[in-house]
Structure 1
Amino acid sequence: MELGTKEIMEIIPHRQPFLLIDTVQELEPGVRAKGTKCVSFNEPYFAGHFPGQPVMPGVLEIEALAQLGAVAILSKPECRGKTAFFASIKSAKFKEKVLPGDVLTLEIEIIKQKGPIGVGAAKATNQKGKITAVAELTFAIS
């Protein structure tokens, strides 16, 4: 199942300029998702992070992964219309800088869920196949 921006916005509440995933190529509702973020030089954060040496903030990589996780969990029929909020970020590591022109492959697997609380193992990889970020993300559905 492949989703574009319109379909993504039907599942999660995020909108520009804070919608940080462009497409979802693979989706198993409640189980896993794989998507992309095309990092453009026109991203608003590059104006100040850092002038003359633009780097995508790591926290926004984590947010992109969390948004993909929200698509995975909120695409379950019983979760439609709800919102997934951050509960915690564990073991976040940033391994490579993300620069304008990079295309990130985002992946998340829901590894645990009990009631409205769940955990996802997340990873971002650049177009060269190098891991840029990893984290364990805990969410609460409301």
Structure 2
Amino acid sequence: MITRTAMARYEGMGKTGKGWISTQSGVLQEQRYGFGTRFENEPGTNPEELIAAAHAGCFTMALSFQLAGKGMNEGSLQTTAKVKLDQDGDGFKISRSDLELTADVPGISEDELRALAEAAKAGCPVSKLMNAEMTLTVTVGGAA
């Protein structure tokens, strides 16, 4: 079993509170978050952005391993995840995560790529964790 950790600290409450997020790896160190970074456009991060990053990264890595398993070791994949936060009664819920894949993989048909991408979407650990509706949009060619 592998365990990864992150820590969130929040001082003050509600809209006036301020928070900081740090990760075990040190990639995030005291990264600011709060009402302004979540619901307005203040600098910092928010849980939905971090979930989107995790989902995009997990899905893309899962697909790369599926492709490698088929003997494909060249090319590039780029995924954007758009996580939606909606009002849910008095609170909020993450209602969906939309994955948009741009792939440039020589030697694979579009149908095979789409099938592998769907399998990666269903099988990546972050997808399995989420209880939200998920979609996948695939664009062939042009990955940076």
User: Structure 1 length normalisation: TM-score?
Assistant: 0.38
From the CA coordinates, give the structure whose radius of gyration is larger.
2
Greater RCO structure (CA 8 Å; 6+ sep): 1
User: Structure 2 length normalisation: TM-score?
Assistant: 0.37
